Amino acid sequence: MFSPRKLFALAAATAALALGAPASPAMAAPAHPYEAIAGHYTTMQQANAVADKARSKGFKVVVQVNGPKKIEVEYGNGYSTPGPALALCDKVKAKGLPCKLGQEQHGVSAAWKKHP
C-alpha cells in the first residue's frame, strides 16, 4: 500500500494537473524556435555578401547551409518567443539591412547557444 506521504504527493500532483497548472519553461519551449534572418540565398557568394555587410555594421551573423541552394543568413536564433527576434530585426533594419522573423526548421546552430 501507499504511505500517507506518497498519497499526499500523488493527490497534490493530480490536483495540479486537474487545475491546469502551467507547464515548466522547458516544456513550454517551441519545437521551432524563433529567429531573426536576413533571408534565404541560393549561393554562398550571395549569402556571404549579405553576412559581410551585416558584420561590417557590427552584427554577429551565422550563415547556415540547409541544403543545395538553401542558404540562410541569421542575425539571431533560438528565441522561445518572437519578441527578442523582432527587437533584433528593428535594430538591424535601422542600419539599412534586411531582416524578418522566422522559425527555425533545421536546428539551432551551436553559434547561437549564447545570444548576442
Q: Residue 108: inside a domain, yes or no?
A: yes
User: With 80 as the cut, is the pLDDT of residue 95 above it?
Assistant: yes
What CATH code is carried by the domain that includes residue 83? 3.30.70.1070
Of the listed ranges 4-13, 57-66, 106-115, the one predicted with least confidence: 4-13
> For residues 81 and 3, what is the distance between their CA atoms, to the nearest angstrom?
42
Expressed as residue numbers, the domain containing 89 is 31-112
Q: Which residues pair with 70 in a beta bridge?
A: 67
Return the closest-CA partner of residue 37 out of 110, 99, 114, 87: 99
Total count of domains within the chain: 1
CA–CA gap between residue 40 and residue 72 (Å, rounded): 4
**Does residue 15 fall inside a structural domain?**
no
Residue 94's pLDDT is 97
The answer to whether position 11 is within a domain reads no
The tens digit of pLDDT for each residue in 43-74 reads 999 999 999 999 999 999 999 998 889 999 99
Q: Which residue bears the cell 534572418?
A: 37
60 within a domain of the structure (yes/no) = yes
Average pLDDT in the 1-8 region? Answer: 53
The 10s digit of each residue's pLDDT in 15-31 is 444 444 443 333 345 67
Q: Check residues 11 and 47 and name the one with the higher pLDDT.
A: 47
pLDDT at 108: 80
Q: Are 107 and 66 in contact (CB under 8 A)?
A: no
3-state SS, 19-54, equals CCCCCCHHHHCCCCCEEEEEEEECCHHHHHHHHHHH
pLDDT at 36 over 70: yes
Structure confidence at residue 90 (pLDDT):
97
Per-residue model confidence (pLDDT) at position 15: 46
